[in-house]
Amino acid sequence: PLLRDARLAALHPEVLAVAEKYIRSDHPATAVFEALKAVNLRVKQMTGRSDDGSSMMGSVLSGSAPILAIADPSTETGRSIQDGYKFLFMGAMLALRNPAAHEQLPDMHEAEAFDQLSFTSILMRALDAATVQATTT
Q: What is the pLDDT of residue 106?
A: 80
For 55-71, what is the mean pLDDT?
92
Give CA–CA dist 68/59, Å, rounded: 9
135 falls in which pLDDT band (50, 70, 90)?
low
Q: What percent of the chain has pLDDT over 90?
A: 84
In the predicted model, is pLDDT for residue 103 greater than 90?
A: no
Q: For residue 111, what are the contacts with CB-CB under 8 A and spacing of at least 6?
A: none
93 falls in which pLDDT band (50, 70, 90)?
very high
134 falls in which pLDDT band (50, 70, 90)?
low
Give CA–CA dist 97/119, Å, rounded: 12
Give CA–CA dist 37/42, Å, rounded: 9
The crossing angle, in degrees rounded to 10, of helices 13-24 and 28-47 is 160
> Tens digit of pLDDT for each residue in 5-61?
999 999 999 999 999 999 999 999 999 999 999 999 999 999 999 999 999 999 999
For residue 86, CA distances in Å to 13, 27, 61, 100, 123 come to 22, 29, 5, 21, 10
In the predicted model, is pLDDT for residue 104 greater than 60?
A: yes
Q: What is the pLDDT of residue 66?
A: 93
Q: Is 118 exposed, middle or buried (0-12, 13-18, 19+ CB in 10 A)?
A: middle
